[in-house]
Structure 1
Amino acid sequence: MIVRILLLLALLIAPLTAPTAASAAGGVVSAADPRAAEAGREMLRAGGSATDAAMAMMLALSVVEPQSSGIGGGGLLVHHDGKTGAIATIDGREAAPAAATPGRFTVDGQPMSYRDAFQGGHSVGIPGNIRLMADAHRQWGKLPWARLFEPAIRLADQGYAVTPRLHNALKMVAPLWDAFPDIRAIYWQDGKPAAVGATIRNPALAKLLRDVAASGPDAFYAGEHGAAIAAAVTAAPRNPAPLTLADLASYQAKDRPAVCGNYRRYRVCGMGPPSSGATTILQMLGMIERFDIGRLGKDSPEAWHLIGEAMQLAYADREKYLGDVDFVAVPLAGLVDRDYLARRSALISPARSLAVYEAGTPPGAEPRTAAISGERAGTTHFVAVDGAGDVVSMTSTVEGPFGSQLVASGMVLNNELTDFTFAPEKDGAPVANRVEAGKRPLSSMSPTIVYGPDGKVVLAIGSAGGKRIIMHVMKALVGVIDWKLPAADAMALPNIYFGGGSLLVEQGTSLDAMRPALERLGQPVTAADLPSKLNAVERTAKGWRGAADPRSEGVALAE
C-alpha cells in the first residue's frame, strides 16, 4: 500500500517538478507534457533524428493530451536541415470532405452558433497528422517507422496518470458528454471525469497505433480504422455528416514553401497558408521595426502599445486576405512587402491608439471583404533538435477541447472545420475562408524557426492558444530579438491580445499593472485570462537549450 501511495504521489508531482529547461551539446526536445518529451528524448538516444523525435512526441501526445492534439487531427511542421541549411514545411492540416458545402454551418442562411456547430460529425475534417508523419519520416527520418510508435503504444497499453490540465479539461466538457458515451467510456471513472492521478488506459488506441506501425499510413486511412472514422462521423449522435473512405483515401500532406522575412538582423521563417501564422507575425515585426523596441524595454507601456497597434492592423489583414492557397488567391508577397508594411506602420503613433483598425490593400490583392473566423484555444506544440543540427518545430491540434467529442479506434476526432468562417459571403462577396469541399481551414498555428545574423538557427518556437497563438509567438520573438532574453524568459513575458473593442492584457502580470498608462493612449484595456503553452529550443554559446512555458505542464529534456 505504501509503495502504491508513493507511486501515486510521484505521478502527481512529476509535471510540476520536471525540468522546464534543459541544455546539451547534442539534442534537446521540448513538449507540453513530460511523457511526450520523454518519448522524443528516447528517439534521440536511439540515434534518431529531430524528425523521429518530433513524430514520437506527436504520437505520445495523442495518448496523454487528447484534449489538445493527436492523430485524429492535423498539424503543421517546419524543418531545418543541419547539413544543407534548407528550410522546408509540411502542411498536414485537415481537409473538408467532398460533401462539404459553403452553407455547412448555416441555418436558414444564418451562421450557426459555435456551440451548435462543433459537436458531432459535421465539424470533423479529414485527419492529416499520419500523412504528415509519413512524409516527414520519408524525407528526414533515421529510425524504422515502427520504432517511433513504441512510447505511445506503451502509454496507451500500460496507462498514464491524469494531470491537472487533463482533469480540468474533462470537467469543463463533462456537461456536453451525455450524448457521447464512447468518449466518456475512456476518460470517465466511477461515473465522473477521471481524477488527477487516476490511470487511463486506451487499448483501442494502442491497437490502432500497432496497426499503423506495422502496416504504414494506409492502415489509418483505409481498412477497419478508416471505416471506424467514417462510421463515427456519418452516424454521429449529433450533427451526423457524410465522410467516406474515398475522402480518407484522397488526403495527402503537402510540401509547401516556407514564408520567410527579415527583422533587424534576423530571418524569421514559418508556415504559409493555410496557416496565417508567418504572414501575420512578419507583418507585425515589419510594422514595429522602425521603433527602437529594444531601447524601450519590456517594462515600457509604449513598447507594448506599439505591439498592440501592429497586432490589430495585422489581424485585420489576416481576416480579409488569408485562406487556403489552393482555393483562394492570397497576396502573400504583398502582405509582407516592405513598402506596404512601411505604409501600415505609418498609421501607428507612439502617442495615440488608432480608433479603427482596418485592413489595407497590399500589392496584388483582389477586392474582398473581411469576415471573422473563430478558432478555439486548444492545440499543442513541440520542438526537437538533434546532434547533426536538424531542427523541427511542429504544432498539432484537434481544435477545441476533445475536438468534436467523437472517437474512432480510441482516438479523439477533430472539430477543425469550425475554423472555417461560418458565413460563406459578406456584402455579397465570397469569404476567403468559407467552407468548400477539399479545402483546408485557415489556421493560426505558427511553428517558427529563426536564423541569427550568422545565418545559423538561433530559435525554434511555437504555441497553443487558437487565434492567440500568433501573439504568443510574436511577443516571445520580440523578447528574444529585441530584449535579448533567454527563450524561457521571453515565453514567460505577459500575453497580449484584443477583443470587444479592447486591448486585452494577461491578468496578474506586469502588463496588467501598465493598464492605466496604456489606457491613457486612447484604447480601453481589459485584464483577461490569456493562458499559453509555448515550447522552444534555442542555440547558445554552450549548445542547445530547450524551454517550456511556465504556465504549462511542459518540459524540456536533453539527450
Structure 2
Amino acid sequence: MPSIIRSKLILTLALGASLANAQDANLPEADTGLVPKPGWSYKREAVAAANPLAAEAGARILREGGNALDAVVAVQMVLNLVEPQSSGIGGGAFLMLSDGSKVQAWDGRETAPAAATPEMLLRPDGRPMGVAEGEGRVVATPGVLAMLQAAHASNGRLPWAKLMQPAIELAEQGFAVSPRLNKLLAQDRLLVRDEQARRYFFDTEGRPWPVGHKLKNPAFAAVLRRVAEQGAVVLQEGSAAQDIVKRVQARQGVLSEADLKAYKPLQREPICAVWRQQYKVCGFPPPSSGHLTLVQVLKLLDYGGAPTDPMQANGLPNAEWLHRYAEASKLAFADRALYIADPAFTPAPAGDWQSLLDEDYLKRRAALIGSKSMGQAVAGQPRAAVTALAPQRDQPEYGTSHISVIDAEGRGVAMTTTIEAAFGARIMSDGGTGLTGGFLLNNQMTDFSLRSREADGRLVANRIEPLKRPRSSMSPTLVFDAKTGRLLLSLGAPGGPAIISFTAKTLLATLAWGLTPQQAIDLPNALSMNTGPFYMERDRWPAELQEQMRERGHQIQQSELTSGLQAIQRTADGRLLGGADPRREGIVSGR
C-alpha cells in the first residue's frame, strides 16, 4: 500500500459527525470514524461483509460444505442482528450470482402496497414528507427473505434450515453492541418513539445500550426457527404477517396481509457490458439504476479524455481525472433521472435498456465534456428516443449493506441489501411472538419520486404506483475476464445514489490502476450526482487539489461520504484478495 494512503488512514475522523452533513450527500448513515483495515488474502474462499460476526457466519457455512449462495443467506440473517440499521428481513435486496456457467440476477426489491397512491407522501402544501411524518405510509412490502429462499432453491447446497443457525445462536446467546451501532442509536431521535424498538435497543432511561453490552433478541430467534422450518411464508401469512400489518396500519400505513401474501421475487436478465475489451462487467437491470449508470460513467471516462493513469505520487488521482469523472457522472445521472424505473411500468428508451450503453450514443455524450464544468447536465436521447416524462428531482435516498462471496469452486455472489434509511421506518415487529426484539421494517416507499408529476403535467417515471418496485441505486457487481469468462471481482457498496460512485471508484482502482481491493476502498471518496456540488470526503483531499477543481468551475462541498464497500478480487494465481471499508466495521473472512 502506498505510504501516503496508509498515513492518511491513520488519521481517524472525528466521531459524532452530524447526520445532517451525511445527508447532504444523500447518504444513509452518519460517520462513526475511520479505522484502518489490513486487507486480506485467502487461498480458497472468502466472505466480505459489514460486520465481523456476519462475515464469520458466512465463512462458517463455507467450511461446513456450503457454497457462495448458502453463505450469503447466513450473512444476511446475522446482519439483521448486528447491523440492524442497514438491512434485514423487513427489507429488500438485489443479488448477482455466478454459478460457473451463467450469471443470474435475483430481484428481492420491495413493492408498493396495492393501496398506495401517487401523492400519499406529500404534505398538503405539496412538499415531500420525511420518514417521521410518513410513519407507516413509508413501509413497502418486504422481499429479501422470499428472494433468498427462491435463489437457494435453485442454487443452494446445504439445507435451508442450517443457514439460519448462526443467527439463531447469536440471537439467543447475545452479541456485543458495536461502537457503530451504539453511536448511530445515540444519534437517532426517532427510533425511541417505537415501543418495541425502545424496549430492545435502549435501557429504561432511554439511553442506547453501551458498547460491549450483550444484546439478546429472543423474538428474532423465534421467528428464524419458524423460517427454518417453514420458509419465507412465515413473513407472508400467519401471526408474523398479522403483526407487521398491525404495526404499520397503526401508524397510518396501507400495507396489508394481502400485499405480504402476494409478494413474488423475480429472476431477471442481468446486464453485462464489455469494458476496455478486457472485462465483462455484469450488474443488475432496472428497477436498479446502479449498473446502467455505473457502466455509463466508466465508458464516458474512456471516451471523454480522462487520463488512463491518473495516480499521483501522493497516491491520489489528479484534478484532471476528477474533473472528467465529475462530468461523466453528471451525464450518466441525468439519464438516470429521466429514464430508469420499474420496467413493468416504464419502458426502456427506444425499447432497450442497452440503448443507454450504445457506443455511438456515449461518444456523443462524452463530447460534451470540456475543460470546465458544464453545470447541470440534461438527459440525452439514446437511439433518438422520445419521452414525455419529466426527470425526477433530487431527494434523499439512503439505505443498505453489501455482501460479497467467492467460494472454493469459483462461484461468486454480490448482494446489496437494504431497509432504506438508517433503522428504516423506525417500526419494529416482533413477528407475532410477543417477545423482546424482532426486526425493523423498511421505509422503501421514499425511494419513489414523491412528486408524481411536474407543474407542466409531465409524469415522473419513478412515481408511486400500486405494486411497483421503487428505483434503486444498488449496484451489486460481478466482473469477468471478457475472453475466458473467469470470475475476477465481486464488489458493491451502500450509500444511496452514492453507491454508484463508490462502486465505480473501487472497480477502476483495482482493474485500471492496479491497486488491491483494500487500497482501492481506502482511497478517499468524491462524487457528483448532477444536482448540487461536487462532494469530496471531508479532510481526505489536499487543499491544492480542491482549488484546482474550483478553477475548473466546480462547487466543492466536503462531506463524510460514509461508504461501506466490500470487494473480493480473484488473482491470476488463484488467490482471493479482500477489502472492507475502513469507514465501517466490516472484515473479510475465509481460508
What does 1:380-395 align with in structure 2 at a 5 Å threshold?
380-395=401-416
SS in 2 for 1:66: coil
Contact 1:73–1:94 (8 Å) recurs in 2: yes
> How far did residue 113 of structure 1 move?
3.1
Matched residue, 2:113? 97
Matched residue, 1:343? 364
Matched residue, 1:476? 506
Matched residue, 2:236? 221
Distance 1:511 1:56 in 2: 41
> How far did residue 512 of structure 1 move?
5.6
> How far did residue 473 of structure 1 move?
0.2
Residue 555 (str. 1) matches residue 583 (str. 2): no
Matched residue, 1:6? none
Distance 2:148 2:347 in 1: 28
> How far did residue 536 of structure 1 move?
0.9
SS in 2 for 1:293: coil
Contact 1:20–1:554 (8 Å) recurs in 2: no
Q: What amino acid maps onto 1:436 in structure 2?
A: E
Contact 1:505–1:512 (8 Å) recurs in 2: no
> How far did residue 387 of structure 1 move?
1.0
Matched residue, 1:176? 190
Contact 2:39–2:517 (8 Å) recurs in 1: no
Give the alignment partner of residue 515 of structure 2, picking from 485, 505, 509. Answer: 485
Matched residue, 1:276? 289
Distance 1:354 1:422 in 2: 28
Residue 141 (str. 1) matches residue 171 (str. 2): no
> How far did residue 60 of structure 1 move?
0.5
Distance 1:159 1:287 in 2: 49
Distance 1:194 1:435 in 2: 37
Give the alignment partner of residue 77 of structure 2, picking from 35, 53, 59. Answer: 59
Determine which structure has the larger strand proportion and give its number: 1
> How many residue pairs get matched?
537
Given the superposition, is the C-alpha separation of residues 94 and 296 from structure 1 closer, same or farther in structure 2, using an over 3 Å criterion? same
Matched residue, 1:495? 525
What does 1:495-514 align with in structure 2 at a 5 Å threshold?
495-498=525-528, 501-510=532-541, 513-514=544-545
Residue 523 (str. 1) matches residue 560 (str. 2): no
> How far did residue 18 of structure 1 move?
11
Give the alignment partner of residue 253 of structure 1, picking from 247, 265, 275. Answer: 265
Given the superposition, is the C-alpha separation of residues 177 and 380 from structure 1 closer, same or farther in structure 2, using an over 3 Å criterion? closer
Residue 445 (str. 1) matches residue 460 (str. 2): no
Distance 1:145 1:76 in 2: 19
Give the alignment partner of residue 414 of structure 1, picking from 442, 445, 448. Answer: 442
What does 1:316-327 align with in structure 2 at a 5 Å threshold?
316-327=334-345
Distance 2:494 2:191 in 1: 24
Distance 1:261 1:341 in 2: 13
> How far did residue 133 of structure 1 move?
0.7
What does 1:306-317 align with in structure 2 at a 5 Å threshold?
306-317=324-335
SS in 1 for 2:417: strand
SS in 2 for 1:210: helix
Residue 242 (str. 1) matches residue 254 (str. 2): yes
> How far did residue 421 of structure 1 move?
0.6
Q: What amino acid maps onto 2:294 in structure 1?
A: I
SS in 2 for 1:193: coil
Distance 2:354 2:115 in 1: 33
Residue 208 (str. 1) matches residue 223 (str. 2): yes
Distance 1:546 1:425 in 2: 44
Contact 2:342–2:468 (8 Å) recurs in 1: yes
**Cα deviation code 1:251-270 (max 9, x no counterpart):** 01100011111211211110
Contact 1:494–1:511 (8 Å) recurs in 2: no
Contact 2:46–2:407 (8 Å) recurs in 1: yes
**Cα deviation code 1:60-87 (max 9, x no counterpart):** 00111111100110000000112x1x11
> How far did residue 335 of structure 1 move?
1.1
> How far did residue 365 of structure 1 move?
4.7
SS in 1 for 2:308: helix
Contact 2:132–2:190 (8 Å) recurs in 1: no
- The normalised TM-score by structure 1 is 0.93
> How far did residue 542 of structure 1 move?
4.2
Q: What amino acid maps onto 2:450 in structure 1?
A: F
**Cα deviation code 1:426-461 (max 9, x no counterpart):** 120111010011001111111001112443111110
SS in 1 for 2:309: helix
Matched residue, 1:9? none
> How far did residue 109 of structure 1 move?
6.2
Distance 1:228 1:254 in 2: 25
**Cα deviation code 1:88-137 (max 9, x no counterpart):** 1001000011110111112336132325445x210001110111111110
Distance 1:517 1:548 in 2: 30
Matched residue, 2:21? none
Seq. identity, %: 38
Residue 70 (str. 1) matches residue 88 (str. 2): yes
Contact 2:306–2:320 (8 Å) recurs in 1: no
**Cα deviation code 1:457-480 (max 9, x no counterpart):** 111100011111111001111111
Residue 124 (str. 1) matches residue 156 (str. 2): no
Residue 359 (str. 1) matches residue 387 (str. 2): no
Q: Which moves more between the two structures, 48-57 or 240-249? A: 240-249
Matched residue, 2:9? none
Q: What amino acid maps onto 1:35 in structure 2?
A: L
Given the superposition, is the C-alpha separation of residues 447 and 512 from structure 1 closer, same or farther in structure 2, using an over 3 Å criterion? farther
Distance 1:295 1:26 in 2: 32
Matched residue, 2:4? none
> How far did residue 190 of structure 1 move?
3.7
Matched residue, 1:87? 103
- How big is the alpha-carbon RMSD for the aligned residues of Structure 1 and Structure 2? 1.8
Given the superposition, is the C-alpha separation of residues 530 and 513 from structure 1 closer, same or farther in structure 2, using an over 3 Å criterion? farther
Given the superposition, is the C-alpha separation of residues 19 and 523 from structure 1 closer, same or farther in structure 2, using an over 3 Å criterion? closer
Give the alignment partner of residue 459 of structure 2, picking from 420, 430, 436. Answer: 430
SS in 2 for 1:260: strand
Contact 1:385–1:537 (8 Å) recurs in 2: yes
> How far did residue 168 of structure 1 move?
1.4
Matched residue, 2:575? 543
Q: Which moves more between the two structures, 158-167 or 520-529? A: 520-529
Q: What amino acid maps onto 1:442 in structure 2?
A: R
- The normalised TM-score by structure 2 is 0.88
Given the superposition, is the C-alpha separation of residues 495 and 511 from structure 1 closer, same or farther in structure 2, using an over 3 Å criterion? farther
Q: What amino acid maps onto 1:241 in structure 2?
A: G
Contact 1:380–1:395 (8 Å) recurs in 2: yes
Q: What amino acid maps onto 2:429 in structure 1?
A: A
Q: Structure 1: which 5+ residue stretches go unaligned?
A: 1-14
Distance 2:505 2:362 in 1: 19
